[in-house]
Structure 1
């Protein structure tokens, strides 16, 4: 709570009658103006657009508020805050976020399709994972994609733009320069249309694509099993095989997928003994990792690898799988960022 609100003395909180009658909207405008003057951050953009407009209109109509009236408004506001026992998320989208993991995806989709979605469709779209929005940028008109990019948080927009093919990314980026005269109603309609299209998609039993699921399984399979399966997929369905290969990430892929700056973090993701065994099982990858450590630490690992000797195939593969599992967990926790694979 801001310093100005806290300065109202407890004795003053007995005031109940305002010297000057104000409506609830005017009182809200007074509180917002006071908090803004104190430099307190207020998430006004989280309000529905009509409420934002009403609040701004009230602030434009008010002129001067005397000290006694201000104190009384603050006392009333603080008293209401102190009387709050439980706050619920605003709007249906806020409720759906709170219930995430506690209700089925089918139930959530049904609620959205029934028209109970948020007043601002962009709140819904901003909460979607990148893989749900990427097809919109790839398939919609560049003008629509430019509006989407402009409405997303900068970090999210940059991430999605980086996933687009070069030519498409350049066209979308240029189209952003043409959005200066787009009116809010059009932006809102675009958001509503995209949200409705996404909500109309039937729920999927699996979160990941088939190629990603097979790739994840082959990641931890024995090497000869992985090669046999891939050879069979090449013969049966070359397109699907390519998807699977792109999803596969094994210890052999570490030099191509792990940035040199992240190597010290990778060396800490699993037990040191397992890391030594993995590097002993595949020396070329081990050399890549050691080349991006300090000389002293690298020499320590080299001595341990020499003492370890060549591990049994089963032990080596288990250690390499443990390293990859640790890298995946570090990526999920956003401790490192893997280099995107262009092909398997």
Structure 2
């Protein structure tokens, strides 16, 4: 570091390392680390501590090599003696446990402790799904909406813009051109305000949306009960009924939702008796279509063997057929949940 001036230039009454305050020593360590290219983020420190460290760095003067060595050695000794650190308060604990406890529990703990989400509010806003940002955009001024749009990834901003009515989308797009004069302070205040609004909206205690939950229930209902419920939903809320239809996956949806290459994988996970009963109990055109799709995408030898078993089985009772088809569906759903299978998303899935 070359020849350094005496430590007296830092503290008039001090000539060695022992006269330095802990914050001055911390400033020395930070300066040394940064000078060697270390990436250091101090944003999580309290504001007053960030201010103090900045001012101390500005006030410090060159120190001797011996003083530097003493400070580094003291720092190394303290570091070696440190076994484990813990976050301070509920806010820090929630940051450590982020993603490891349920959103519902985290929201309840924040509310009880009066803790808000930490970190850059814009990072949280930018990570949200466009559908969740849509109500915010619709309720905010054009200027704020333009700022939100400017802080999103290009693809997400384009998707969000596409969800808006054409006239409003054009006005917001034009308002983006007026955002060049927005100051950092204003941007920060807007981000904090928007994050606070989003925090005030309680996270759902359910892992799935309403349509997915109803669809999951109807998957294992009898065909007659499923048709009756869907008919009633059509009369009450056609849009919701359509969403439920998309969420439903039954035996007859197999040709539309499972790729041919995945059929052998599904067959390996099934009890052959269930598969034989489901195929033998296929009566409607849709059920027969699904049965032939399964048989047509497995090995020819296994398909012939199953056809022989179906012939030997004779007539299948509707109740037994439905139970077997539900068992096939349940196995497929378990594979999907385990990440072993990806269902094809279709806009016009049949509801059976």
Report the TM-score when normalising by structure 1. 0.63
1:304 to 298, 302, 305: 302
Counterparts of residues 46-85 of structure 1 (less than 5 Å): 46-47=44-45, 52=50, 55=53, 58-59=56-57, 62=60, 64-85=62-83
C-alpha deviations, 1:123-154, integer Å up to 9, x for none?
893698646555434543454345445556x5
Say which SS state the counterpart of residue 245 (structure 1) adopts: helix
> 2:270 aligned with 1:274, yes or no?
yes
| Counterparts of 1:199 and 1:256, CA distance in 2 | 39
Q: Are the structure 2 counterparts of residues 173 and 79 from structure 1 closer, same or farther at C-alpha, using a change threshold of 3 Å?
A: farther
SS, match of residue 330 in structure 1: coil
| Closer/same/farther in 2, CA of residues 325 and 78 from structure 1, 3 Å limit | same
Corresponding position of 1:324: 333
Alpha-carbon distance change, 40 to 241 in structure 1, aligned in 2, over 3 angstroms: same
Q: Does the C-alpha gap of structure 1 residues 85 and 225 become closer, same or farther in structure 2, counting only changes over 3 Å?
A: same
Paired position in structure 1 for 2:228: 228
> For the residues of structure 2 that align with 1:257 and 1:177, how far apart are their CA atoms?
44
Q: Which residue of 2 aligns with 1:165?
A: 162
Q: Which runs of 5+ in 2 are unaligned?
A: 1-14, 311-315
- Change in 2 beyond 3 A, CA 1:231/1:43: same
Deviations along 1:194-237, one digit per CA (max 9) or x if unpaired, are 23323334676545443332122223434443223212221333
- Kindly indicate whether the alpha-carbon contact (under 8 Å) linking 1:93 and 1:124 is maintained by their aligned counterparts in 2: no
1:201–1:136 Cα change, 3 Å: same
Is residue 89–residue 95 contact of structure 1 (8 Å, CA) maintained in 2?
yes
Q: What CA RMSD, in Å, does the superposition of the two structures yield over aligned residues?
A: 4.9
What is the number of residues matched between the two proteins? 308
In structure 2, the CA distance between the partners of 1:247 and 1:125, relative to structure 1 (3 Å rule), is same
Report if aligned partners of 1:251, 1:324 keep a CA contact under 8 Å in 2: no
Gaps of 5+ in 1: 1-16, 292-297
Q: Which has the larger radius of gyration?
A: 2
Note if contact 1:91-1:118 (Cα within 8 Å) is conserved in structure 2: no
- Alpha carbons 1:269, 1:327 under 8 Å: kept: no
Q: Tell me the SS of whatever aligns to 1:165.
A: helix
User: Closer, same or farther in 2 for the Cα pair 1:76/1:235, shift >3 Å?
Assistant: same
Query: Secondary structure at 2:71's aligned position in 1?
Result: helix
Secondary structure of residue in 2 paired with 1:82: helix
* Alignment match of 1:111 (pick from 110, 113, 123): 113
Q: How does 1:24-43 map to 2 (within 5 A)?
A: 24-43=22-41
Partner residue of 1:190?
Answer: 190
Query: For the structure 1 residues 190 and 45, does the alpha-carbon distance in structure 2 shift closer, same or farther, using more than 3 Å as the test?
Result: same
